[in-house]
Structure 1
Amino acid sequence: MSTNNDDPIVITGMAVEAPGGVETLADYWAALAESRDLLGPFPRDRGWPLERLLSLSETEGWGMVRDSGGFLDGAADFDPQFFGITPREAVAMDPQQRVALRVAWRALENAGINPSDLGDDEIGCYMGASNTEYGPHGAEVNDYTGYRAGGAALGAVAGRLSNVLGLNGPSVVVDVACASSLAAVHMAASAIRNGECDWALAGAACVIGSPGAFFEFSKNNALAADGQCKPYAEDAQGTLWGEGVGVLVLERESRARELGHRIYGRLLGSRINHNGKGAPIAVPSTEAQERLMRATVAASGVAPELIDMIEGHGTGTAVGDPLELTALQQVYGGPRPDGSGPLLGSVKSNLGHAQAAAGLLGLIKVLLSGVHGQIAPTRHAANPTTRVDWNASGLRLASELRDWAPRDGVRYAAVSSFGVSGTNAHAVLAMPVLQEPALAGATSGGAAESSAEGNTHA
């Protein structure tokens, strides 16, 4: 991405669905500001082998699986006719396509754009997603055979949005595991800068189609045995899987101002890289993350000491958290003139690890913190890990809701993600103080609300 921020890429619309019944930006902010636990028991309507799953620890070498995760209440709900889709095809569609459709519709409405009339612009669509094994195997003949190709295709998470909404620009699904959503935002911004599209939707979707990830991490003894995800905490026991969907509207600032769109934030810099050769693919690299963060800060043109909020990856694992913290401390730590340091947190403490959508849910948390002028707290932050020297680093865990004073009318933040694929993603944001009332029009009313209450189920 260019270092020229004379006409930066800005975020002018957003929408989210998260565990705990969160379906609007206002719901999401309230849950974060109140440090609410959004976790719940495993869904009972997905045909999962729960008895076997919850008894895995009885087998030698397997870790405890608690009846806990961050699951969307409305993952199975969809109104196909609203989007011009037949009920039979809708059932064959991966729920990630369905939920992404309604969240994208709300993001457009939030930006003041009519989703049913997008004009003649070249509009891109970049979505992070990973295959979560929804539905029967393709070789199994059933009533939905014939719809499975488009229904199960990972690329259709973006392609379905482009098809239904009439987006005729680039349409790409990014799958780099848990770095997917920030990578999708980076690619969308780059496409706008390069003239590949006039503006774009960028986001991610994660709806868990099978409990395979729980089996995998139980075998690796990397799941939270107490059913809580505790990023950067001394008593963290592992990660916990969750779900979520978020979509942003990205465009150039000149275009946004010409059309009178609200500007939630400027994407001053974003970068992606890979750990490369060395450790096993799933093991994070402090060196690669530090290199990426420094490159992103350089692209943003913002001094690292101006960053007051960092939304980290923070999975609550014994390996990943200290390695990430070391990289963050090297780039954003150190003494500051006012004696303070950036406040660090991870939304995974509220809702678990939403995998391909994790970074996007964290980015929206940052944007909402900018809107409200407060840094949302991270749960379980009272007892930080002792595997890093917090006093020397200057970093602090955001253990409570804090006021966030702007610097010359702007608040600066960074967002970090990395994945089991070895890919890392980082972004630096600037959020101007909004003049209009907080979240005016941002609760996503209108026709899209009806799309959350259909009767076609997974």
Structure 2
Amino acid sequence: MNPKQTQEKEPNLPLERTIKALKDARYQLERYKNQSKEPIAIIGIGCRFPGGASTPEAFWQLLQNGVDTITEVPPDRWPLSKYYDPDPTTPGKIYTRYGAFVEQIREFDASFFGISPKEAIHLDPQHRLLLEVTWEALERSATNPQKLIGTQTGVFIGITSNDYSQNIFTQGPEQIDAYSGLGNGHSIASGRISYILGLKGPCVAVDTACSSSLISTHLACSSLRNQECNLALAGGVHLSISPEITINYCKAKILSVDGRCKTFDAAADGFVRGEGCGMIVLKRLSDALSDQDNILAVIRGSATNQDGNSSGLTVPNGSSQQALIRQALENGGVEPASVSYLEAHGTGTSLGDPIEVEAVGEVFGATHSQQKPLIIGSVKTNIGHLESAAGIAGLMKVVLQLQNRQIAPSLHFHQPNPYINWDKLPVQVSTNIQPWQVNNHSRIAGISSFGASGTNAHVIIEEAPSIVTTQNIIERPVHLLTLSAKTEKALEDLVNSYQSYLETHPELALADVCYTASTGRAHFNHRLGVMASDPTELIDKLLGWKTQSELVGVFSGQPNREVPKIAFLFTGQGSQYINMGRQLYE
């Protein structure tokens, strides 16, 4: 054979290896790009907001009805007669009588979380709210908290206030005990959640002032995309328990005299302080779809930046806000034209509102117009400025609007702020409840949260994807509802809750209710099992159990300490066949 021909037939191994390496590198790069931009599913939410909004449903009722939750400062916060003075120059006094407050912050079931009464005395109510709302958010995501032990679940909490510790320390050094530090440290607020639930993922407490909870959400999304955790809990909390910070704000003259956030209005004269707690449960969208979770909304992208050297430490920077929104859109792969609503930071200050609206106009000016405007609003007009929980409150408002396909009204907008160039900006303030119309496009919104520290956050959220169920559903003639609680009284309250919920939502599939109650809830010692063929029968039997009536198919009690053994008995002699017992299993 000709040596030249032999040389031509031999493969060029170095070249082939190089080509293969380039292909592998390109694949890994594309995979990394997709991973770094993967949408994040919101699968559960829980809240405590002013106006008695202790559930997402109650919060939505408040929003769609345009409720103003502002009240005078209640006596369990501080005595108004001691601190109020309409003269803003009076030392040590407060010139406003108002705020938005969460109810029953003294109420806490410490034993439920394994906390002793002595430890609970010095446990900051903010920590208590976080524990309660986190548990509720997990239950609403159909995640059994007991099954999270040892999992890579992350916790990201925005928290800034330390009013409770101030109250303890002002009572004298003799009031300080072994629990005072652990009960009030911000790092412990997030750490206690991980400790009680046995979580092994990242655990972070964030303080960037007003943007803390939305920064926490941004960090949680990044952690999920980086594979640091497989489930994430994100949110924030804020309570105003003592008057010192309010006095400081009054001296800075940043609070509204009449206690209203008049966002975008000519009468805007500052914000009103609000309280609240909100938590969301997050999962990578691919995992949520694979696990068949109930997806409430999807976080497409998020971003954070800093105002830098603006005209003052607490003065907003319009160019930074523009860059922030653009970066969040780019990170989520979302075109500005796709965004139809923006939940503004909107504190209702004569300086901040014009800067924010002008920045929004610059970003969306090329894709929106006065004929096709970007709708804007601010939840602060309903519940005040929740400070470290402000961002999560705005995010939850948007999630509820997406679910209900409606845009809630922004309150106290009567005369447009003359420092905002409304005639040339493609924005419109939502003043009435209105359908969220997008002409067959997906509903997408942005949420802004700007910190007094200069640290900003923006999140892009899209409505949940439409999911078509193709599985063959087995219709069972009878369903079993299993409920449990740590005490008999708690079980009674749980039964009342289920009875009320079933009566309010007759459209729910009984199989779904029973499945979630069995697999998505923790199991405690006081137990109840109810067999029923339809919701009406179930409601009747729940009522019958409460009245102590003897009913067929209703069982209650406490489990034996011994683990029961289960066995199947077959006759043998060749009577077995393939798929025998499969129907029972399914």
Instruction: Normalising by structure 2, report the TM-score.
Output: 0.72
Return the match for 1:82 from 92, 106, 112.
112
Change (3 A) 1:19 1:79: same
Contact 1:63 1:222 in 2 (8 A): no
- The whole-number CA distance in structure 2 between the counterparts of 1:282 and 1:439 is 50
Change (3 A) 1:340 1:58: closer
Q: CA offset at residue 6 of structure 1?
A: 6.7
- The whole-number CA distance in structure 1 between the counterparts of 2:381 and 2:83 is 23
Q: CA offset at residue 189 of structure 1?
A: 0.6
Q: What's the secondary structure of 1:360's corresponding residue?
A: helix
Q: What's the secondary structure of 1:100's corresponding residue?
A: helix
Contact 1:181 1:360 in 2 (8 A): yes
Q: What's the secondary structure of 1:268's corresponding residue?
A: strand
Q: What's the secondary structure of 1:151's corresponding residue?
A: coil
Return the match for 1:166 from 187, 198, 223.
198
More relative contact order in 1 or in 2 (CA 8 Å, sep 6+)?
A: 1
Please name the residue that 1:22 is paired with: 53
Q: CA offset at residue 64 of structure 1?
A: 6.4
Q: CA offset at residue 432 of structure 1?
A: 2.7
Q: Is 1:205 aligned with 2:251?
A: no
Please name the residue that 1:243 is paired with: 275
Change (3 A) 1:4 1:198: closer
Q: CA offset at residue 410 of structure 1?
A: 2.2
Return the match for 1:276 from 295, 301, 308.
308
Provide, for residues 130-174 of structure 1, a one-character-per-residue CA deviation record: whole Å limited to 9, x for no partner: 033213129943455100111010111111111112211111001
Q: Is 1:41 aligned with 2:72?
A: yes
Please name the residue that 1:154 is paired with: 186
The letter of the residue matching 1:153 is: G
Please name the residue that 1:413 is paired with: 445
Q: CA offset at residue 359 of structure 1?
A: 0.7
Within a 5 Å distance, the mapping from 1:20-419 to structure 2 comes to 20-46=51-77, 48-55=78-85, 57=87, 59=89, 65-134=95-164, 135-137=167-169, 140-142=172-174, 145-334=177-366, 336=368, 339-406=371-438, 408=440, 410-419=442-451
Change (3 A) 1:406 1:161: farther
Provide, for residues 194-213 of structure 1, a one-character-per-residue CA deviation record: whole Å limited to 9, x for no partner: 11111110010111232223
Q: What's the secondary structure of 1:266's corresponding residue?
A: strand
Q: CA offset at residue 50 of structure 1?
A: 2.7
Please name the residue that 1:452 is paired with: none
The letter of the residue matching 2:299 is: L
The letter of the residue matching 1:129 is: I
- The whole-number CA distance in structure 2 between the counterparts of 1:384 and 1:438 is 44
Change (3 A) 1:259 1:4: closer
- The whole-number CA distance in structure 1 between the counterparts of 2:507 and 2:282 is 18
What's the C-alpha RMSD, in Å, of the aligned pairs? 2.8
More helix by share: 2
- The whole-number CA distance in structure 2 between the counterparts of 1:395 and 1:315 is 17
Larger Rg: 2
Change (3 A) 1:58 1:410: closer
Contact 1:20 1:40 in 2 (8 A): no
Change (3 A) 1:176 1:11: same
Q: CA offset at residue 5 of structure 1?
A: 7.1
Change (3 A) 1:340 1:160: same
Identity of aligned residues (%): 35
Contact 1:88 1:144 in 2 (8 A): no
Q: What's the secondary structure of 2:305's corresponding residue?
A: strand
Please name the residue that 2:455 is paired with: 423
Q: CA offset at residue 357 of structure 1?
A: 0.3
Provide, for residues 332-354 of structure 1, a one-character-per-residue CA deviation record: whole Å limited to 9, x for no partner: 23564892111101100001100
Q: CA offset at residue 62 of structure 1?
A: 9.2
- The whole-number CA distance in structure 2 between the counterparts of 1:113 and 1:439 is 23
Contact 1:377 1:399 in 2 (8 A): yes
Q: What's the secondary structure of 2:250's corresponding residue?
A: helix
Moved more, 124-133 or 64-73: 64-73
Q: What's the secondary structure of 2:145's corresponding residue?
A: coil
Q: CA offset at residue 246 of structure 1?
A: 0.5
Change (3 A) 1:337 1:137: closer
Q: CA offset at residue 7 of structure 1?
A: 3.7
Give structure 1 regions of 4+ aligned residues with deviation exceeding 4 angstroms: 1-6, 60-64, 406-409, 433-442, 444-448
Provide, for residues 384-440 of structure 1, a one-character-per-residue CA deviation record: whole Å limited to 9, x for no partner: 212111221110001011101246462100000111111111111111366799997
Q: CA offset at residue 51 of structure 1?
A: 2.6
Q: What's the secondary structure of 1:32's corresponding residue?
A: helix
- The whole-number CA distance in structure 1 between the counterparts of 2:91 and 2:209 is 25
- The whole-number CA distance in structure 2 between the counterparts of 1:348 and 1:321 is 13
Change (3 A) 1:62 1:399: farther
Provide, for residues 47-105 of structure 1, a one-character-per-residue CA deviation record: whole Å limited to 9, x for no partner: x2533421162635999622210110122211101111111211211111100111111
Contact 1:256 1:263 in 2 (8 A): yes
Provide, for residues 336-381 of structure 1, a one-character-per-residue CA deviation record: whole Å limited to 9, x for no partner: 4892111101100001100000010000000000000001110012
Change (3 A) 1:261 1:138: farther
The letter of the residue matching 2:292 is: G
Q: CA offset at residue 238 of structure 1?
A: 0.9
- The whole-number CA distance in structure 1 between the counterparts of 2:89 and 2:425 is 42
Change (3 A) 1:2 1:374: farther
Which residues of structure 2 form unaligned runs of 5+? 1-31, 469-504, 523-586
